[in-house]
Amino acid sequence: MKQRTSLLVSLNFPPSSIASVHRARHLAKHLPEFGWRPIVLAVDEKFHKEPVDFALGRLVPETVDVRRVRALPVKLGKLLGVGDLALRSMFQVWHEIKQLVKAEQPDVVFFTGWPFYQMLLTSWIRCSFGLPVVLDFQDPWVSAEGSSRPKWSKGGAAHRLAVALEPRAIRDASYITSVSDRQNDEMAARYSWLDRARMAAVPIGGDPDDFTALRRNPPVHPQVRLDPGKINFSFVGAFMPRTGPAARTVFRALAQVRRSHPELAARIRFNFVGTSNQPNGYGAFQVAPLAVEEGVGDLVHETPQRVAYLEALSLLANSHALLLIGSDEPHYTASKIYPALMSGRPYLSIFHQASSSHQILSGAGGGESLAFAGQEELAELEPALGAAIVRLASDAERYSPAKPESWSDYHASSVARRFAEIFASVGR
C-alpha cells in the first residue's frame, strides 16, 4: 500500500491537557495502520494557558512526527486582549504550513477544533497549493448556547464573530466532520450551499491501550483519592448546563434509597470529578449545590477542576460503578461514555431516549440504562433509578463488562480508519 501524508493541524496536542487533544492523538497513532503518514502541527505547550500533562504526552508513540510552533505569550496576549490560542499563533501556524507543504508535500490538510480561527486558513491552502482540506468540529463554533450570551458580553462578541467567520472557513472545505449527525444537520441548515454528502459524524472514541498504560504506570500523586471505605459511584468529566435536571432526578432517587436502605446509603459516595472541564476550575461547584438542595449533599463529593488524563481513567477503573448522566437535549452525545465502556466497570446511565449515547449504552450490557423523552418524564424514573442504585451498590458483580462489540466502532483505530477513508475520498 502506497503511504500518503496527512498534515494534522491540532493546536492542542499532548502534553497539552485540553480535552480536544484526543482527536489528533488517536489519528496520529492509528492512521499509519491505514496507509497514511501523519504529521502533527501543534502549538508548543509553553504557550498554553493550561497546565501540561506529561503522562498524557507519553501515550503518544515516539514515532509520531510532531512540529511545534511558538505563539504570542499568554501574558502579552492578555495585555493586548487576545487570549484565544488560534489568534495568538495564527501567523506562526500559517508560516509553518507553508514550509511543511513545500517540504513534505502532504496529500490532505486536516484542522480540528476547538479552537476554530485557524480554520480560516482553508481558502488560502486551497488557492495557494490546491490541497484538499478537512475541517473537524469537535464542538459547534456557532451554537445556541453562544446565541444566548448577552450581546455586549465577551461571549456575545465571540458568538457574533463565529456567525461572521464560520461560513468563510467552511466554504472551501473539501469535507466537514463533527461528533454528531445533529451537529452536522444544524450546520447544513445554516448554509444551503453545503453538500451534506460531504459531511460525516465521527465520534472521538477511546483507546483501550490507555488502560494498559494506566496499569503499567498508575498515578503516583492523584488529586482525588477514592475512599476505600465507601461504595464509590463516579462521574468523571464536564457537567454540562442542561445536565442539571437529570442529575437532580438521580439525587432524588438517592434520597429514596436512603429512606428505604439507610445502612446501604450511608456507605454510598457519589464522586463528581472535573465538572468544570477546566484544569484551574477550583471552586467552580455546579453539582454539590444541587445535591444539597435535594437533601443528599453529605453523600455527594465534587471536585470541579479537571484532573490529569490517566488519573481520570484510574478513577473510572477503580470505582465501584460509574455515573453517566446526560443532557435533556436529544442530540447530546457524551464522548465520556467510550472510556467508561472500555474500563469494564458497571454503570448507571440516564440520557434522552433519542441520544446516540443511550442507544449505545442500552445495547452494551454491563450496566443499567434508563431514558426519558422530556423533563416531565424524569420524575417517573426515580423509583427505577433508586432500584438500580441499590443493585449496583449491593451486587456489582452481577454485571459483566460491556460487550466489546458495543464499542468496537468507537475504538480509536476504527475512528482512524474512518478518517483514512475520508482523506482518500478527497485526496489528490
Residue extents of the structural domains in the chain:
4-205+411-426, 209-409
CA 222/CA 210 separation, integer angstroms:
17
pLDDT at 332 (0 to 100):
65
Are β-strands 268-273 and 175-178 bridged in parallel, bridged antiparallel, or unpaired? unpaired
Which triple of cell numbers denotes residue 283?
471552586
Domain boundaries 209-409, corresponding CATH code: 3.40.50.2000
Is residue 109 within 8 Å of 133, Cβ to Cβ?
yes
Output b/e per residue, 190-207; b: 16+ Cβ within 10 A.
eeeebeeeebbbbbbbbb
Instruction: Give pLDDT tens digits for 56-106.
Output: 999 999 999 999 999 999 999 888 888 899 999 999 999 999 999 999 999
* Count of other CB atoms within 10 angstroms of residue 223: 14
Which letter does DSSP use for residue 30 in this model? H
| Residue 176 scores a pLDDT above 90 | yes
pLDDT at 1 (0 to 100):
56
| Residue 319 scores a pLDDT above 60 | yes
Q: Evaluate the CA torsion angle 195, 198, 202, 204 in order and state its sign.
A: negative
CA 247/CA 209 separation, integer angstroms:
31
Q: Which CATH number fits domain 4-205+411-426: 3.40.50.2000, 1.10.4080.10, 3.40.47.10, 1.10.3720.10?
A: 3.40.50.2000
Is residue 378 within 8 Å of 169, Cβ to Cβ?
no
Listing DSSP states for 85-134 in one string gives HHHHHHHHHHHHHHHHHHHH--SEEEEEESS-GGGGGHHHHHHHH---EE
Instruction: Give pLDDT tens digits for 196-206.
Output: 999 999 999 99
pLDDT band at 152 (very low <50, low <70, confident <90, very high): confident
* Count of other CB atoms within 10 angstroms of residue 263: 7
Instruction: Give the pLDDT mean for 235-255.
Output: 93
Phi-psi label, residue 402: left if phi above 0, alpha if psi -120 to 50, beta otherwise: beta
Is residue 169 within 8 Å of 186, Cβ to Cβ?
no
pTM, two decimals, is: 0.92
Instruction: Give pLDDT tens digits for 27-53.
Output: 999 999 999 999 999 999 999 988 899
Instruction: Give pLDDT tens digits for 347-373.
Output: 999 998 888 888 899 999 899 999 998
Look at residue 407 and give its three-state secondary structure.
helix
Question: In 295-427, at which residue ranges do the beta strands (DSSP E only) sit?
Answer: 300-303, 321-325, 347-352, 367-372
pLDDT at 275 (0 to 100):
94
Which letter does DSSP use for residue 336 in this model? T
- In order of 265, 380, 425, the CA distances from 118 in angstroms are 50, 46, 23
Is residue 320 within 8 Å of 396, Cβ to Cβ?
yes
Which letter does DSSP use for residue 307 in this model? P
Domains 4-205+411-426 and 209-409 share a fold: yes
Is residue 344 within 8 Å of 360, Cβ to Cβ?
no
Q: How far, rounded to the nearest angstrom, does the alpha carbon of residue 43 sit from its chain's CA centroid?
A: 20
